Structure 1
Amino acid sequence: MIKVGEKAIDFNVKDHNGNEVKLSNYKGKKVLLSFHPLAFTGVCETQMKNLDIKYKELEKLNVIPLGFSVDSQFAKKAWADQMMLKNLQLVTDFWPHGEVAKNYGIFNEELGFSERANILIDENGIVEFVKVYPIKEQPNLNEILDYLKK
């Protein structure tokens, strides 16, 4: 698993609207990679809705949140529309299957999807926060917000 202080691994993937998403495009901003196992599941839905609700607050703290899973772009689009997301980009780690999660050391080979995790990357591309949560546990977004405000 990637550790605090390590250089974040760049990626080039698509969001739910088919837009290219590259970590290197966010230099000068913090990026929160919020990994969830699968779209259309209860805990994952709450996790992504919370990020969307708190998007402006995170943005004021110079943070861009991204919601990652192994679902396809089409599934992510349908899910984003169903949840009526206003700001959050849902990012697909579909092909190569789970490559970003694998690069960050949080891909569960047995289950075929990522662990539930938050990875915060600083303005210079260095990992500054990593936490993996039990699959059925909702990540506490206030934990990230409190960390950012200290």
Structure 2
Amino acid sequence: MKDLIKVGEMAPDFKLKDQSGAEISLSSFSGKKVLLSWHPLAWTAVCMDQMRSLERNFKSFEEKNTVVLGFSIDSQPSKSVWARVLCLDGVRILADFHPLGEVTKNYGLFSEERGSSDRANVLIGADGIVIWVKKYDIHALPDVEEVLAQL
């Protein structure tokens, strides 16, 4: 298994579908910072709170030239319904479903034990270099203010 990505490393590019079925690639956000926010599985309480917190603070991220992308290994149809239930209008949530967890594994965030991702935030600079990484306890809600302070 790959080690957790580190500050100073080039973030691996990817192409995944978001909740609307649009193909999203990291490289398409060149010149912007990108927050990759991993939640283990949709439809669980802390994961819902994590994505809602990002949505509530979406404008703050925009003001800091930062794109917010939520990540999990759930399928795109599941992400589509979940995004509607959560009323996500700004935050895109990506389906790292097939091949299962490939992007998550490339970032060193796949838990073989659980068969899902860890809970983590990876902040990528406008140049594609990782500038901040934090892994959280699986039951802990990431502090969005802590993330915003890194920008």
TM over 0.5: yes
Report the Cα offset of residue 146 of structure 1. 1.3
Query: In structure 2, what is the Cα distance between the partners aligned to 1:144 and 1:110?
Result: 27
TM-score (norm 2): 0.97
Which amino acid in the other structure matches residue 36 of structure 1? H
The answer as to 2:121 corresponding to 1:104 is no
Alpha-carbon displacement from aligned partner over 1:107-130 (angstroms, at most 9, x marks no partner) = 001111100000000001000000
Aligned residues between the structures: 148
Q: Which runs of 5+ in 1 are unaligned?
A: none
TM-score (norm 1): 0.97
Structure 1 counterpart of 2:30 = 27
Which amino acid in the other structure matches residue 131 of structure 1? K
% identical equivalent positions: 51
Q: Which runs of 5+ in 2 are unaligned?
A: none
Structure 2 counterpart of 1:69 = 72
The answer as to 2:25 corresponding to 1:6 is no
Query: Which residue, 126, 130, 146 being the options, matches 2:129?
Result: 126
Report the Cα offset of residue 74 of structure 1. 0.4
Structure 2 counterpart of 1:139 = 142
**Consecutive aligned runs of 4 or more in structure 1 exceeding 6 Å deviation:** none
SS in structure 2 of the partner of residue 137 of structure 1: coil
Query: In structure 2, what is the Cα distance between the partners aligned to 1:27 and 1:138?
Result: 29
